[in-house]
Structures are given as C-alpha cells and as structure tokens.
Amino acid sequence: MPRLGMGMPIAGGATEAAVLAVEDFVFLNDVSGELTPVDTSSRTNLIPYSHDFSQSDWQKVEIKVETSGITDPSGGTGSYKLTTESNSNQSYMQDILTTEVGKYYTFSVYAQKAEYDYIALVGLNPLTIHYINLANGTTSSSSGITPIVEDASNGWFRCSITLVADTTSKFFGIYLAGDNGNISQGGAADDNGVYIYGAQVEQDSRVSALIKTSGSAVNVATTELGDLSNVWDFDGTDIMLEVDPENEGAFEEATANLVTNHDFAVDANWTKGTGWSISGGKASNDGSFGGANSFLITSETDASVGDTYEVTFTVSNYVQGSIKARAGQGGGTARTANGTYTETMVATATETIRLHATDSFIGSVDNVFVKEYAITPLNV
C-alpha cells in the first residue's frame, strides 16, 4: 500500500466514508472532523529485567531457568532455556507489575522450540491463557483473544498478547505447555524445554521494538529504537507503525452518535438529576443541587471497561460552576465557559455515559454526541 503522508484526506465514492491516512494506517471518519494522530515520542518496557530471566523479579514455580548458549534473535548468546524442575502439572515463571485499570497492556517474548513445542502466555487479573506452537507459529486461546506471533527467523518467534487491566496489579507469565489447549506440561524433571529471549510489557494495544532493561523500567525515544517505527496515539490507545506495514490495516469509527435525543428536542431519553430541566432544545441546570454533584444521564449509552469514547457537547448560558463528560467513571475536563468541547476517554467501569455538573453549575448544554471507537485492524 502506498504511503500517503500524515493528514492527507482521500476522496471516496458518494457512499463511502471520508478517509484519513497516516503512513500505512487509514482512519475512517464518517461524521465530521479529522481523527488526527498525535505523535508519541517514547516507549517504555515495564519489565525490570527484560533479558535476565534468572533474576528474582521473575517468580519461578517448578521451573529451571538457565542460559542456553544458542544464538538469540539479536545474533548474540543471551537466550535462556526453560525446563521443568519437577514432575509438576505446571511449570512457569511470572512477573507482577503495577497496572492502570482500563488500560491496554501488551506482553511479548521471543521463544524457540527445543524438546517441547508449546508455551503459553498467561495474564492474570483478568485470567487469560494463550497457546503458541513454536514448531510452526500457530496459536490458540482459551480467552477469546488471539496471540500475535511474528517469525523472527532461525526458529525464533516473537509472541505477544494484549490485555486490558482490571486491577492495579497484573501477573504476566510464561508457561511450559503440554500441547495446544493444555497449560499443564506434566513432564518429568529433566533438561527438556524451550528457549526464550527478550520479554517486554508496554502500556499499549500493540507490540513495539524490544527495549532492554536491567533492574527497572526503561523509557526510550522512538527515534532511538532502531527500527524506524513511529508511534501514534489514537483516542488513548497507542498504535505502532512497523517499518514496512503492508498488512497493518486500519482503525475505524465503530458507531455513529449513540445518544438518542442528542439535541433535547423533547423532554425524553434523559435521566435528570437535581436542578436539571429540558426545554427549548437545551438541558439546563439552575444550580439548586447545592454544589456537590448533579448528573444528566443518557438512557442508552452504557460504557464498557477498556472501550474508548469520544464525547462532544456545547455549553451555553454559562453563569457559574463546572460541567464535564463522564464515561465509565473516566471523567473529562471540567468546563467553566461557553463553548463546544470534544474529548476522548477510556472507560474504567461499566456506567451509563453522563454529563456531570459540579460546584453549583448554572448553565445549559445541548448537541451531545457520543461515539465509540473500535481499535480493530482491518486489511486495506
């Protein structure tokens, strides 16, 4: 696919959505405005010891971790071999990291088969199990999320999974797996196992170039990653553009406006808190709720944890106080003046999308638009 240059609009047919292309990514925008990416200048590997699996940060259960001496993906000899330590049902190691609820995290590691063909990448909180056949790079999952496997040459595969954190602490584990769909290897204590190299966890929905760490998380400017990748931020979720991303695809707007009666043409479809009234094509609050909180709640737009929403609304007749959008407890910026405001937020809880008045807000709102975005690759 030709590279189209940042922000270049592409004209479609009469029934097609407007399109915005950025390198090999295309963003559909079928309503109005531009989905303009924001350059993100750095990446962070959150794993303290990305290359040294012997460290105690990697908690080990019935598994031996030894240097292997075989050539690793970088051409050196820094890979490790994982083998069963006893005749145990499960042999694994894991790192426990602090996470932010509702955010995407991508866990990746290089792996090569030795005597065993399978590994499983496991995330906990929530529990997700993902199997990779290192003989051929095929995958499966017990959790509805498909692992991504990239051929790194010479028998190595880079294996990755992307999860949404639902607690502030998350386990990232590497298991010796017996076969596809069986997390229990069940072998005897011997030297049979698999080879691994270079683990990474990043707060992102896509895997990026490996960053080496030696005791703590490391943040690196994208220009220093050595793979010429650029990182772009799309509504709160980072997207990595590869060197030659022929099959990277696109990301599309998943919905039109989710709000019924967005222009307050009638007094319906909204749950009104203290002080709110609907008339004359506006919803207004008289400040009588006393300074704490008063909500104007849509009747049909429940936010889902981890999903990204764009909310637009207009404030008029402003007198005092503040008002902001709220999606799944993910609050927007408090607005204290007349104007039209648009912002995106990632839901951190299941909650009906609403406008949140505080500080004895007196004023009116109208033209409320809520759109949900799907961060889903499409082949283009």
**141-187 tens-digit pLDDT:** 665 566 889 899 999 999 998 888 888 888 999 999 876 556 666 56
Q: What is the CATH number of the domain that holds 339?
A: 2.60.120.260
Confidence of residue 21 (pLDDT cuts 50, 70, 90): very low
Average pLDDT over residues 257-268: 89
Same domain, 278 and 188: no
Domain annotation covers residue 236 = yes
**294-329 tens-digit pLDDT:** 899 887 767 777 777 888 899 999 999 999 988 766
Asked whether the predicted pLDDT for residue 280 surpasses 70, the reply is yes
Domain annotation covers residue 379 = no
Same domain, 123 and 186: yes
3-state SS, one letter per residue, for the chain: CCCCCCCEEECCCCCCCEEEEECCEEEEECCCCCCCCEECCEEEECCCECCCCCCCCCEEECEEEEECCCCCCCCCCCCEEEEECCCCCCEEEEEEEECCCCCEEEEEEEEEECCCCEEEEEEECCCEEEEEECCCCEEEECCCCCCEEEEEECCEEEEEEEEECCCCEEEEEEEEECECCECCCCCCCCCCEEEEEEEEEECCCCCCCCCCCECCCEEEEHHHCCCCCEEEEECCEEEEECCCCCCCCEEEECCCCCCCCCCCCCCCCEEECCCEEEECCEEEEECCCCCCEEEEEEEEEEECCCCEEEEEEEEEEEEEEEEEEEECCEECCCECCCEEEEEEEECCCCEEEEEEEEEEEEEEEEEEEEEEEECCCCCC
Most confident listed range (208-222, 244-258, 326-340): 208-222
Domain annotation covers residue 257 = no
| Residues of the domain holding 171 | 42-243
Confidence (pTM): 0.53
Confidence of residue 258 (pLDDT cuts 50, 70, 90): confident
pLDDT of residue 186: 56
Same domain, 221 and 287: no
Domain annotation covers residue 253 = no
pLDDT of residue 4: 24
pLDDT of residue 154: 92
pLDDT of residue 59: 95
Picking from 191, 225, 243, the residue at the C-terminal end of a domain is: 243
Picking from 243, 259, 291, the residue at the C-terminal end of a domain is: 243
